[in-house]
Amino acid sequence: MAESSGSVNIAEVRAEWIGVEFDWAEFIIDKDAMIQWASACGETDERFIDPSHSDFQAHPSFTTHCMSGRLFPKNFPQIGGGFGIDGGKTVTAHLPIRAGSKLTAVTTIADIFDKTGRSGTMVFIVQRMEFKDETGALVSTVDWKMIKKA
């Protein structure tokens, strides 16, 4: 990884911002939205589409639509221009998410790194949301990679 991308020193940004919590939100998991989500994706496993199933639960990536209130922490340095592009998501399903449950999400910056290729240097900023249920159990982690041109 390069020490700096443009005018921003990536090593310094990493040291200051990785792991810092910057947003907190609550989400109520809606049964009808769970079913509609899974059905629209062609899901045929009844655990995800039949609310009478004994193990009825949200599709594993259901939490990807739960957005944090902020993209970046307050005073986070400007890296590159604009919003950047969506580089993809990683979802870790720790426990089933049930209809009606209230999830509490905490958002952090999980990683910052750069890569240089034919089109120049790109900076990857990974925003992490961790979702816990009412008991405090971690049920889902979503890492969202945002890619910005340095």
Partner 1 sequence: MKVLSYDDVELGDDLPDESPDVSMSKVTAFCTAAKHVFERFVDHEAARKEGFPAAIVPGIMSQSLLLAMIHRWAPGCTVRKIDTVFRGSLLVDSNVTMSGAVTDTDDEARTAEVDLVITAEDGRTGVIGTAVVEFKD
Residues engaged in binding partner 1 (CB under 8 A): 32-34, 36-45, 48, 59-61, 64-65, 86-93, 145
Indicate the residue among 3 and 42 with the shorter CB distance to partner 1: 42
Indicate the residue among 60 and 73 with the shorter CB distance to partner 1: 60
In the complex, minimum distance from the CB of residue 15 to partner 1, in angstroms, rounded to a whole number: 26
Indicate the residue among 12 and 86 with the shorter CB distance to partner 1: 86
In the complex, minimum distance from the CB of residue 104 to partner 1, in angstroms, rounded to a whole number: 18
In 3-state terms the chain splits into helix, strand, coil percentages (rounded to 5) of 15, 40, 40
Q: Exposed, middle or buried, 40 (CB in 10 Å: 0-12/13-18/19+)?
A: exposed
Indicate the residue among 78 and 88 with the shorter CB distance to partner 1: 88
As a whole number of Å, the end-to-end CA separation of the chain is 13
Give the E-state strand segments of the chain in sequence order. 4-5, 8-9, 21-28, 85-93, 102-117, 120-132, 138-149
In the complex, minimum distance from the CB of residue 41 to partner 1, in angstroms, rounded to a whole number: 4
- In three-state secondary structure terms, 54 is coil
In the complex, minimum distance from the CB of residue 46 to partner 1, in angstroms, rounded to a whole number: 10
